[in-house]
Chain A
């Protein structure tokens, strides 16, 4: 299930389940989005990206869905594995700008 801690929401799943991590963004001018995975004590790693002219993009075991109408992004991880345990962040970018704005993040805990 999902719980909201003081700062970081947590999603707990069983190994083999599919996981869905959600992200709401606020800037309607954002037109490019990235999902990052951050393991404890490490920097973020790129997972998958999507541009605003798309509503779905698939990678290996991951799918990103974008709903611009409600400014919502989701990351679906198929057949979640213990190695997927980490904090996941969405990040948004506005065309013409080089900076990324990170969302709040969700901790994914995968139990064997």
Chain B
């Protein structure tokens, strides 16, 4: 099946710094990528949808200037958490979908655990 990777798998950063998370589709071209945030023992909350070459569409309540999303190629999207604070500590998960693929053909990455100290 299709494989999506994320890097790093975990990261610890100091409050006020920025951290970049990469999401890659390894064996298909991801026209659309999605970024989710998941707090402990909670569900996945969609943060934004990005289409290759376009600006990301952010969900209500998600600060676009804080969570910068870039989807410059068909295999790579990045999420940069700017000026991170402890409340940004979470599990960030991306998923990717190819072209006009069916909804269920949305493949998830393994997630990135961000801890802000």
Which residues of A are interface residues toward B (Cβ below 8 A)? 5-8, 32, 34, 41-46, 49, 89, 93, 98-105
Asked whether, in the complex, the Cβ of B108 is within 8 Å of the Cβ of A104, the reply is no
How far apart are the CA atoms of A105 and B41 in the complex, in Å? 8
- The 10 closest A-B CB pairs, nearest first, are A43-B108, A8-B41, A7-B41, A102-B44, A102-B43, A49-B104, A44-B108, A93-B103, A43-B110, A43-B111
Decide yes or no whether B34 CB sits under 8 A from chain A: yes
Decide yes or no whether B19 CB sits under 8 A from chain A: no
Residues of A within 8 A of B44 (CB): 44, 89, 102
Asked whether, in the complex, the Cβ of A104 is within 8 Å of the Cβ of B43, the reply is yes
Q: Which residue of A lies closest to B1 (CB)?
A: A46
Looking at chain B's contact residues, is the secondary structure mostly helix, strand, loop, or mixed? strand
Which residues of B are interface residues toward A (Cβ below 8 A)? 4, 32, 34, 36, 40-46, 49, 91, 93, 95, 97, 103-104, 106, 108-111, 113
In angstroms, how far is the closest chain A Cβ from the Cβ of B57? 9
Asked whether, in the complex, the Cβ of B104 is within 8 Å of the Cβ of A5, the reply is no
Task: Kindly identify which residue among A5, A6, A43 contacts B93, using a CB–CB cutoff of 8 Å.
Answer: A43
Residues of B within 8 A of A46 (CB): 104
How far apart are the CA atoms of A45 and B42 in the complex, in Å? 16
How far apart are the CA atoms of A89 and B44 in the complex, in Å? 9
Tell me whether A8 and B103 are in contact in the complex, defined as CB-CB below 8 angstroms, given that A43-B109, A98-B32 are known contacts. no
Asked whether, in the complex, the Cβ of B103 is within 8 Å of the Cβ of A42, the reply is no
Task: Kindly identify which residue among A34, A102, A104 contacts B104, using a CB–CB cutoff of 8 Å.
Answer: A34
Q: Give 22 pairs: A residue, B residue, CB < 8 Å, sorted on A.
A: A6-B41, A7-B40, A8-B42, A32-B103, A34-B103, A41-B110, A42-B110, A42-B111, A43-B93, A43-B95, A44-B93, A98-B32, A98-B97, A98-B103, A100-B34, A102-B36, A102-B43, A102-B44, A102-B46, A103-B43, A104-B42, A105-B42
Residues of A within 8 A of B42 (CB): 7-8, 104-105
Asked whether, in the complex, the Cβ of A45 is within 8 Å of the Cβ of B41, the reply is no
Residues of A within 8 A of B97 (CB): 98
Residues of B within 8 A of A44 (CB): 44, 93, 108
